[in-house]
Structure 1
Amino acid sequence: MSHDQDHSQDHTHDEVSKEQCVDYLERIVYFIDKELDEADCAAVQLHLDTCNPCLVKYDLQRTVKSVVARSCSETAPSDLRERVLFKLRAVQVQITES
């Protein structure tokens, strides 16, 4: 087998791996939220245990979700809420008039 053929097979393997990773990355959010059944959880966990790039993305997703969750527990000051609602109504009026 020539070096070019060997490289071609590696390229195909990389493409298959990337496609598998895309599938697992789509399920990571559900995995973090514990919304997968046991079989899917086990499959995602196994993939994360063997795929460092996906594990890094999983850790990032988990961190972002945690930060957002903490941030969402605070209530906006009433004057800010009123300004935002006013802007939303103005946009609704503009859309309605268009």
Structure 2
Amino acid sequence: MSDCGCEKARRDLEEYLRNEVCNTEHTEIREHLENCVSCTDEALVAKTLTEVVARACRETAPEELRDQVFARLRALQSAAH
């Protein structure tokens, strides 16, 4: 086992969580996370935050709110011309 260390694990954490590191680096970071509570906690926070942001991006505004926003934008555009 080759421990990549906290500095590398934290530096490459986002890429690791998105599976954007090579297989060797993925294995090294995974092994480090299995043995380092501090980095594991940081990975959990990063993963949770990423999931919450992704979920929020999929949500849509209620139809009534969207209608109000578009009506206000149209009113502002009309006033500007």
TM-score with structure 2 setting the length = 0.68
Q: Distance in 2 between matches of 1:40 and 1:25?
A: 12
- The residue aligned with 2:33 is 48
State yes or no: 1:60 paired with 2:30: no
Structure 1 runs (4+) greater than 4 angstroms displaced: none
Q: Which runs of 5+ in 2 are unaligned?
A: 77-81
Q: Relative contact order: is structure 1 or structure 2 higher (C-alpha 8 Å, sep ≥ 6)?
A: 2
1:30 partner letter: E
- The residue aligned with 2:22 is 37
Q: Distance in 2 between matches of 1:47 and 1:69?
A: 26
Q: Summarize deviations over 1:56-84 as a string: whole Å, max 9, x none.
A: 0000100000000000012343618x76x
1:68 partner letter: V
The number of residues matched between the two structures is 64
State yes or no: 1:71 paired with 2:59: no
- The residue aligned with 2:10 is 25
Report % sequence identity: 23
Q: Which runs of 5+ in 1 are unaligned?
A: 1-19, 87-98
TM-score with structure 1 setting the length = 0.57
Q: Which has more helix, going by share of residues?
A: 1
Q: Which has the larger radius of gyration?
A: 1
1:59 partner letter: L
